[in-house]
Amino acid sequence: MEDVGSVVAFWALSVMTLGAALVTALVRDLVRAVVALVVSFLGVAGLFVLLSADFLGVAQVLIYAGAISVLIVFAIVLTPRAARDNAETAMRWPALALAGALAGLVIAVALATDWGEGAREGFRETASAIGEALLNRYVLPFEVASVLLLAAMLGAIVLVRED
Amino acid sequence: MSPFLAEWWDLRDLGNLVGAILDWIGDRGAPSWVPYVLSGIIGIAAVLLWALLSQLAFIWIERRVLGRMQVRLGPNRVGPWGLLQPLADALKVLAKEMVTPSNADRILYWLAPVAVVVPAILVLAVFPFSPGMVVADLNVGVLYIVAVTSTATIAVFMAGWASSNKYSLLGAMRTVAMLISYEVVQVLALLSATAFTGSMRLLDVVAWQDRYNAWLLFLQPLALLSFIIASAVEVNRTPSDIAEAESEIVAGYHTEYGGIRWGMFQLAEYVAGFAVAATITTLWLGGWTLWGLEEWVPGWLIFLAKLYGTFFLFIWLRGTLPRVRIDQLMGFAWKFLLPLMLLNVLLVGAERVVWAETEAPAGVVLPAFAVLNLALTVAMIVGWGALAGGLRPQMRPKRPLLVREVGGIYYQPMP
């Protein structure tokens, strides 16, 4: 990360990610919040690309910006009066506490990590490496995750099953 | 990089010309980032120019061809054979007043046309027009296509939501439901193709088809068929344009848009159509190769010929097929295409393993796979159609279990 382009890109993407995240948290209209969240996701994808994790970057766009955001949109549209007047809720302070604890954890991990790997060369091919890792070494967590998703799908079908 | 990397005047690959110019600038002592930035600008400008010119041409072609298919004349007043009609349309769109509904969410309303166009144009970056003519040679190219197109969903929803019009919102919700459903089919179809070639880099996919003299069209007919259907849904073309069905919901999500904002949606639709045609050309029709003809004819001309032919297929479909209903379209994705594509992915995996284990020569294996896959495609479509055709959906409305248990959806009336 010595050349000018990378540094400029890093700061631009960081500002974009954090600024959009701030808008997401502060704006009152939930649909605007979703749009800001998508911008934040795109910023994170850009950061992944900057770290030469091309597969992760593209997967971030595909899954978070493309699919998760639409899931949230569905949740908003299917909830009556969800789009406006959503600030007054009893879960405000617990949510703030949880968010603060999470932020503390992330900061603690970031401070404890040795970041002396900046000079390492960029990865060549990440897609095949991730595929190998998922299907060899980490096959058990991978399969557990797929079973979890299947259980969630079955649960959704059971809930909306007609009598 | 290019198999026929040659002198700058070798126009079989325009990349040679650009490379020569950049080398010339580099030799004059410019810093190393200048040729890098310049190559990006030249590539982007070329792709944009191509997309806009093709769109102008195809507006005329589409309207004339549809006119002929529907036994009417089509545009024939502006210029000879109506050739200047697209230009007149473009000027009209530019000059029209842009009206914003008074209840609209102004920020999102203004942002939506931009957010629709950007991904449509970004996709064009990865397509190799010929070995040296690709703006961004990504090794996750196929995934990039799906990822970037998928971000258009939220933009379309923004348009429908911000317009504050019930027809717009209906169209937006239809689009979101459709795109999410058919994206799954699209990804599985692309997975089948890339699993066969073993690379997601589009240049490698074309090189694979060139090496074995086998277009994936012959090896993966079911994947191509599913991809064409899913893409027709994704780019909103007529057999499945229920998101903007004029006879039902005015114009769907862009009902409230006029002037150049409406033009942006139109531009995005056409460019997305070209991107889909380019994907089909690259992955299934062998890209710029044509069994040796690319030595004599510029590869990018072959690519464009295939691309326009594929796009013509979509116009043809539009002129031929009636619009389907939304429940039919959704049911078709989940109950018909998705099971078949899952089976197809399994089949591709099995064939790859068989090929790797037996170590048979490609000349024996690939024709066998082609025949087998064609037979299985026909068998699966006919068989699943016969099986699923008997399962009639029950149209009696029933209360879902959850609603019965909870006693209806909780809704607090407005104070």
What would the DSSP string read from start to end of B133-150? --S---TTHHHHHHHHHH
The answer on pLDDT for B158 being more than 80 is: yes
Contact yes or no for A80 and B138 at CB 8 A: no
Nearest to A67 among B107, B150, B400 (CB): B150
Contact yes or no for A61 and B151 at CB 8 A: yes
Respond yes or no on whether ipTM tops 0.90.
Answer: no
Contacts with B146 from chain A: Cβ below 8 Å? 62
The answer on pLDDT for A1 being more than 50 is: no
Three-state DSSP state, B13: coil
Per the model's pLDDT, the better-predicted residue between B64 and B135 turns out to be B64
**Of residues A54, A44, A2, A52, the one with CA closest to residue A19:** A44
Q: Going by C-beta distance under 8 Å and a sequence separation of 6 or more, which residues neighbour residue A157?
A: none
The answer on pLDDT for B376 being more than 90 is: no
CB of A13 closer than 8 Å to CB of A68: no
The answer on pLDDT for B410 being more than 70 is: no
Integer Cα distance of B73 and B66 in angstroms = 9
Which residue in A has a C-alpha nearest to residue B398's C-alpha?
Answer: A162
How confident is the model at residue B1, as a pLDDT?
40
- Residues B91-101, mean pLDDT to the nearest whole number: 84
pLDDT band at A16 (very low <50, low <70, confident <90, very high): very high
Asked if A47 reaches chain B (Cβ–Cβ under 8 Å), the answer is no
pLDDT band at B395 (very low <50, low <70, confident <90, very high): low
pLDDT band at B106 (very low <50, low <70, confident <90, very high): confident
How confident is the model at residue B285, as a pLDDT?
87
What would the DSSP string read from start to end of B337-374? IHHHHHHHHHHHHHHHHHHHHH---HHHHHHHHHHHHH
How confident is the model at residue A18, as a pLDDT?
92
Q: Going by C-beta distance under 8 Å and a sequence separation of 6 or more, which residues neighbour residue B362?
A: B212, B214
Q: What is the pLDDT of residues A63-95, one digit of tens each?
A: 888 888 888 888 887 776 655 555 567 778 888
Chain A 66-125, CB below 8 Å of chain B: which residues?
66-67, 69-70, 73-74, 77, 80-81, 125
How confident is the model at residue A152, as a pLDDT?
92
**Of residues B359, B369, B351, the one with CA closest to residue B214:** B369
Asked if B158 reaches chain A (Cβ–Cβ under 8 Å), the answer is yes
Buried b (16+ CB within 10 A) or exposed e, A90-122: eeeeeeeeeeeeeeeeeeeeeeeeeeeeeeeee
Contact yes or no for B151 and A66 at CB 8 A: yes
Contact yes or no for A5 and B33 at CB 8 A: yes
From first CA to last CA, the distance across chain B in angstroms is 68
Per the model's pLDDT, the better-predicted residue between B391 and B170 turns out to be B170
How confident is the model at residue B89, as a pLDDT?
85
How many Cβ pairs within 8 Å bridge chains A and B?
92
Cα distance from A71 to chain B (closest Cα, Å)? 9
**Of residues A45, A49, A47, A51, the one with CA closest to residue A66:** A45
The answer on pLDDT for B203 being more than 80 is: yes
- Residues A94-121, mean pLDDT to the nearest whole number: 83
In the numeric block, the tokens 């079989």 are attached to B12
Per the model's pLDDT, the better-predicted residue between A85 and B174 turns out to be B174
The answer on pLDDT for A160 being more than 80 is: no
Contacts with A61 from chain B: Cβ below 8 Å? 147-148, 150-151
The answer on pLDDT for B15 being more than 50 is: yes
Instruction: Tell which phi-psi region holds residue B383, choosing left (phi > 0), alpha (psi between -120 and 50) or beta.
Output: alpha
The answer on pLDDT for B377 being more than 90 is: no
**Least reliable range by pLDDT among A131-140, B34-43, B215-224, B310-319:** B34-43
pLDDT band at B2 (very low <50, low <70, confident <90, very high): very low
pLDDT band at B263 (very low <50, low <70, confident <90, very high): confident
The answer on pLDDT for B398 being more than 80 is: no
Nearest to B173 among A77, A158, A163 (CB): A77
Report percent pLDDT > 90 for chain B.
Answer: 3
pLDDT band at B323 (very low <50, low <70, confident <90, very high): confident
The answer on pLDDT for A11 being more than 80 is: yes
Contact yes or no for B154 and A29 at CB 8 A: no
Q: What is the pLDDT of residues B343-374, one digit of tens each?
A: 999 988 888 888 888 877 777 778 888 888 88
**Of residues B228, B373, B385, the one with CA closest to residue B313:** B228
CB of A66 closer than 8 Å to CB of A40: no
Return the H-helix or E-strand segment holding A35. Answer: helix A30-50
Per the model's pLDDT, the better-predicted residue between A67 and B297 turns out to be A67
**Least reliable range by pLDDT among A68-72, A79-83, A130-134, B267-271:** A79-83
How confident is the model at residue A19, as a pLDDT?
93
- Residues A13-31, mean pLDDT to the nearest whole number: 88
How confident is the model at residue A41, as a pLDDT?
92
| Per-chain mean pLDDT for chain A | 83
CB of B208 closer than 8 Å to CB of B227: no
pLDDT band at B406 (very low <50, low <70, confident <90, very high): low
CB of A40 closer than 8 Å to CB of A63: no
Contacts with A73 from chain B: Cβ below 8 Å? 154, 157, 176
How confident is the model at residue A14, as a pLDDT?
92
pLDDT band at A146 (very low <50, low <70, confident <90, very high): very high
| Per-chain mean pLDDT for chain B | 81
Integer Cα distance of B277 and B304 in angstroms = 10
Phi, psi of B173 (to 5 degrees): -65, -40
Contact yes or no for A70 and B180 at CB 8 A: yes
- Residues A130-147, mean pLDDT to the nearest whole number: 89
Contact yes or no for A77 and B400 at CB 8 A: no
How confident is the model at residue A145, as a pLDDT?
92
**Least reliable range by pLDDT among A103-107, B17-21, B89-93, B121-125:** B17-21
How confident is the model at residue A163, as a pLDDT?
58
Per the model's pLDDT, the better-predicted residue between B12 and B40 turns out to be B40
- Residues B220-246, mean pLDDT to the nearest whole number: 80
Phi, psi of B223 (to 5 degrees): -65, -40
- Residues B316-335, mean pLDDT to the nearest whole number: 82
